[in-house]
Amino acid sequence: MIETNPIVKGLLTIHKVITRGLRTSIQKCDEYLVKQAIPPEEAAGFTIYLTSLRYITHSHHLSEDDISFPIFRDLIEAPYNQLMDDHVKIASLLDTLDQQLSGLSFAGIGNLRTLIVEIESLWLPHIRIEEENFTSDRIDKVIEKEKQVKIVEKMSRHGIENSGPGPTSLPFLFYNLEGKEREDFMMHFPWIVKKILVPIIWKVKWKPMKPFLL
Ligand SMILES: [Fe+2]
Ligand SMILES: [Fe+2]
C-alpha cells in the first residue's frame, strides 16, 4: 500500500531507518565475534554508524515527545504514558551506548551486542504500538491535511536540530533507505544538500560508514 498521509509516511520512514540501523549493527557484531576481530577498515566507520544511530533515535523520540504526542494526545487514543516511558528507557540505554563507543575495541563487542539487542527489544514493540495507533484513517479524521503538512515540517526542523552532525547524520538517514523510499525522503532536502554536500563535500566524513549502508 502506498502511504499518502505525510505524518504516517514520515513515521514509517524514520522507524525503518532506525530498525535497519539496529539490525545491521547486531549483524556486524556477530560478524566480528566470528572473526574474533573488527576489520581495521571498518573500525572507525562502525563507531560513526552507531553514533549516528544514537543521535537519530534520540532525536526522533524528542520530536514525538515535543511535537506529535502533545498534538495527538487530545485527538487520538493511544498509550502515551507507556510510549513516553519507553523513550526514557531507550534514552538511558543510548547513554550507555555512547559510553561503550568511546575507545571501542574487539573486547567490547560482546557487551555492545547485548546492549543493542536490549535496545531493539524495546524498540520493536514500541514502534508496533505507534504504527498501530497512528494510522492514516485515525489521523485524517481529526487533523486536516494542511495542518498535517505543517506538523511534518515542524518535526523535520526539530529533528535536524537534534540529530547531531549533518555530514554523518544525513548520509546515515539517506543510505539506510533504498529505492523509492530513499527518493521520497530525499525530496524534502535542498538540492545543495543532496547533490553537493552529502555526495561530494561531506563524503570524506561519512565514507568510513560505507560497509554499513545501502
Ligand atoms: Fe516513539
Ligand atoms: Fe516513533
Residue 165 Cα to ligand 2 midpoint, Å, equals 21
Residue 212 Cα to ligand 1 midpoint, Å, equals 24
Q: Quick count: other Cβ atoms within 10 Å of Cβ 56?
A: 22
Residue 19 Cα to ligand 2 midpoint, Å, equals 11
Residue extents of the structural domains in the chain: 6-164
Residue 63 Cα to ligand 1 midpoint, Å, equals 9
Is residue 13 within 8 Å of residue 181, measured between CB atoms? yes
What is the tens place of the pLDDT at every residue in 112-165?
Answer: 999 999 999 999 999 999 999 999 999 999 999 999 999 999 998 999 899 999
8 burial type by CB count under 10 A (0-12 exposed, 13-18 middle, 19+ buried): buried
Amino acid sitting at position 106 = F
What is the tens place of the pLDDT at every residue in 155-189?
Answer: 989 998 999 999 999 999 999 999 999 999 999 89
Residue 180 Cα to ligand 2 midpoint, Å, equals 21
Nearest to 211 by CA among 179, 176, 186: 176
Residue 39 Cα to ligand 1 midpoint, Å, equals 34
User: What class has domain 6-164?
Assistant: mainly alpha
Q: Which ligand is nearest to the CA of 62?
A: 1
Q: What is the mean pLDDT of the chain?
A: 96
pLDDT at 1 over 70: no
